[in-house]
Amino acid sequence: AQSVTQLDSHVSVSEGTPVLLRCNYSSSYSPSLFWYVQHPNKGLQLLLKYTSAATLVKGINGFEAEFKKSETSFHLTKPSAHMSDAAEYFCVVTFTGNQFYFGTGTSLTVIP
Amino acid sequence: GAVVSQHPSRVICKSGTSVKIECRSLDFQATTMFWYRQFPKKSLMLMATSNEGSKATYEQGVEKDKFLINHASLTLSTLTVTSAHPEDSSFYICSASSRDGIMQETQYFGPGTRLLVL
Q: What is residue A30's DSSP assignment?
A: P
CA of A89 vs chain B CAs: smallest distance (Å) = 10
- Count chain A–chain B contacts defined by CB atoms under 8 A: 50
Per-residue pLDDT at A51: 81
CA of B37 vs chain A CAs: smallest distance (Å) = 11
Q: Look at strands B113-117 and B10-13 and give their pairing.
A: parallel
Binned at pLDDT 50, 70 and 90, residue B85 comes out as very high
Partners of A26 in the β-ladder = A3
Over residues B99-107, the mean pLDDT reads: 70
Q: Could you tell me which residue, B98 or B8, shows the higher pLDDT?
A: B8
pLDDT tens digit string along B31-84? Answer: 889 999 998 877 888 999 988 878 899 998 999 999 999 988 889 999 999 999
Mean pLDDT of chain A: 91
d(CA B34, CA B100): 17
pLDDT tens digit string along A91-103? Answer: 998 877 667 888 9
Q: What is residue B21's DSSP assignment?
A: E
Partners of A11 in the β-ladder = A108
* Residue A92 in contact with partner chain B when CB distance is under 8 A: yes
* Residue A97 in contact with partner chain B when CB distance is under 8 A: yes
Return all residues near B114 (Cβ < 8 A) that are at least 6 apart: A41, B9, B10, B11, B91
Secondary structure of B27-58 in the HEC alphabet? CCCCCEEEEEEECCCCCEEEEEEEECCCCCEE
